[in-house]
Structure 1
Amino acid sequence: MTSQLEGVRTVGIVDDVTAEAEALGRLFEDFDMRALIMPRPEPRATAEEYLSTFPPMDVLVCDHLLRNSWTVAFTGAELAARANSRPEKLPAIVMSTHVGTHEASSIHQWRADIPAVVPKGAESEQVLGAVQYAIEEAAGKVSRERRRFRTPVEVLAVHPEGESPYAEVLVSGWSLTRPARLPLSRLEQDTGTSAGSLPPGTWLRAEVNCYARQAEDLCFTHITLAPQLSEEILAL
């Protein structure tokens, strides 16, 4: 088969399980691309320090949870997000067995800077499509599903427990019936307000990709506190 990714010759792979990294590498090699499996990072290295050790490559694919075999302070989601947001952008996606599970909330806090998240075991067309997404976004071509618009957001409940605390919210521009998860780290960073002080019914404003198909694909940026909104205003 011929590669669907024009101009992509080298793909970097980060996975703490060697067998899984090699299996993914074979997928890309089947499409005439070179796969580079990244070595174990130094135990105290940050995501940026680890990225700085990488050789030249066209795209990066990261497993999310890297702590099964490695002693690291970052996740694959953070690594991919920082690669995508560098001045010299390195297009990066995340592949994980935790897509659609509770563990996915630890991906969500970095989702604004990750063009695509793909479940492990996905068909090659889905993997290559996700890589194409990342390449196009790095070049400034943002897909409809990733474009963010200012919209009201209502806090339904705050869940401060667990490894990835979140607020359950309704995003007015996306759905008035389907709740989504807003990472508390993002909310507190943008508003400067402790999430524990936000009661249910609090209204926010945020830039959100309201054309996202799934709740886990929603990204929240530039979050601010908003006045209480009436039902009449929401109906406009």
Structure 2
Amino acid sequence: MGVATLDPGARILVLDDDVEDAEAAAGTLRDADFRADSLSDNAAGLTVDSFLADVCAGYDALVCDHVLSRDRRFGFTGAELVSRANQRTDRPLPAVLLTSHRGTDQTGSISRWLSGIPAVVDKPELTDGIVPALDYTVRELRGDFSEERRCFLTPIEVLEVFTTGEVKRARVVVVGWHMQKSVWMPLEPALAATGLNAAQMEGRWLEAKVNCNAKRPDDLYYRDITIAPDLPEDWFTS
């Protein structure tokens, strides 16, 4: 699975439904000797796959804001687009997510796709953060994971399930991350992977590959989720 190196002169598409923010990000990339185009126009009717195949054709990388719903211009979030771009099987497109919404209600909709998002840049830190984020994304797509993004198999205890609100989620204990602290886990990937419904999920033990060296719970991602085998009764006391 080849990933192009982002040499000076690489073509980068910046997508943001705010025209000024899109051009500001593109200007930062041009200052770093990339060829950057900004896009804020209507993409109504385009799916993620068609956007990647049609609009992103010919580009070497993508920088995308998370919230693209203003005036219904886009039918997907930036997190979904970035994740799908990085995980394309034929030709991954290195993609970085921009957001002003870390630590807000939008965090949940980002977490849903975080396994495919190597780097998230807070918009206030765009000027200094965007180029290093692109560099790291290319490295991770080649298999060079940072310590905080490297994942390994761990048990997960599902404490509660919440199906209301914009993003369905579960309060869980990720044993490999912290055995005494619960965190929020996006629910839909677990439901899809296990075949369980929300009512069946509560109280279950799962297994997943998780980046347990992440410093913040919002940076945890989950891959290869399965129903865990039954644990010995004395597992926590032995």
Same fold (TM over 0.5): yes
- Alignment-mate amino acid for residue 170 of structure 1: V
Bigger Cα displacement from structure 2, 5-14 vs 79-88 = 5-14
Q: Does 1:92 align with 2:95?
A: yes
Residue equivalent to 2:217: 215
Cα pair 1:154 1:169 within 8 Å, conserved? yes
Residue equivalent to 1:48: 49
Q: Does 1:140 align with 2:165?
A: no
CA deviations on 1:208-228 (whole Å, 9 max, x unpaired) are: 111112111111111122245
Residue equivalent to 2:162: 159
Inter-CA distance 198–93: structure 2 relative to 1 (3 Å threshold): same
Q: Does 1:72 align with 2:79?
A: no
Match of 1:121 among 121, 124, 148: 124
After superposition, the CA RMSD in angstroms is 2.0
Determine the C-alpha separation between the residues in 2 that align with 1:113 and 1:211: 17
Q: Which ranges of structure 1 fall in alignment gaps of 5 or more residues? A: none
Kindly state the Cα deviation for residue 123 of structure 1 after the two structures are TM-superposed: 4.9
Residue equivalent to 1:15: 16
- Alignment-mate amino acid for residue 106 of structure 1: S
Bigger Cα displacement from structure 2, 149-158 vs 177-186 = 177-186
Determine the C-alpha separation between the residues in 2 that align with 1:224 and 1:181: 17
Which structure 1 residue ranges, 4+ long, deviate > 4 Å from structure 2?
A: none
Residue equivalent to 1:205: 207
Determine the C-alpha separation between the residues in 2 that align with 1:130 and 1:84: 13
Kindly state the Cα deviation for residue 130 of structure 1 after the two structures are TM-superposed: 1.5
Cα pair 1:16 1:70 within 8 Å, conserved? no
Q: Which ranges of structure 2 fall in alignment gaps of 5 or more residues? A: none
Kindly state the Cα deviation for residue 152 of structure 1 after the two structures are TM-superposed: 0.5
Residue equivalent to 2:182: 179
Cα pair 2:62 2:93 within 8 Å, conserved? yes
Percent of pairs with identical residues: 37
Kindly state the Cα deviation for residue 202 of structure 1 after the two structures are TM-superposed: 2.2
- Alignment-mate amino acid for residue 7 of structure 1: D
Determine the C-alpha separation between the residues in 1 that align with 2:52 and 2:40: 11
- Alignment-mate amino acid for residue 19 of structure 2: T
Inter-CA distance 149–7: structure 2 relative to 1 (3 Å threshold): same
Calculate the TM-score normalised by the size of structure 1. Answer: 0.90
CA deviations on 1:79-124 (whole Å, 9 max, x unpaired) are: 1011101120110011111112121100111111110112111153
Kindly state the Cα deviation for residue 233 of structure 1 after the two structures are TM-superposed: 2.1
Kindly state the Cα deviation for residue 24 of structure 1 after the two structures are TM-superposed: 1.0
Kindly state the Cα deviation for residue 197 of structure 1 after the two structures are TM-superposed: 2.2
Bigger Cα displacement from structure 2, 98-107 vs 116-125 = 116-125
Q: Does 1:195 align with 2:201?
A: no
Kindly state the Cα deviation for residue 131 of structure 1 after the two structures are TM-superposed: 1.3
Bigger Cα displacement from structure 2, 214-223 vs 69-78 = 69-78
SS at match of 2:70: coil
Cα pair 2:68 2:78 within 8 Å, conserved? yes
- Alignment-mate amino acid for residue 17 of structure 2: D
Residue equivalent to 1:226: 228
Residue equivalent to 1:108: 111
Inter-CA distance 235–80: structure 2 relative to 1 (3 Å threshold): farther
Q: Number of paired residues?
A: 231
Cα pair 2:25 2:126 within 8 Å, conserved? no
Cα pair 2:18 2:40 within 8 Å, conserved? no
Determine the C-alpha separation between the residues in 2 that align with 1:147 and 1:51: 27
Bigger Cα displacement from structure 2, 106-115 vs 130-139 = 130-139
Cα pair 1:112 1:219 within 8 Å, conserved? yes
SS at match of 1:122: helix
CA deviations on 1:49-107 (whole Å, 9 max, x unpaired) are: 01112242222111011011343221111110111011201100111111121211001
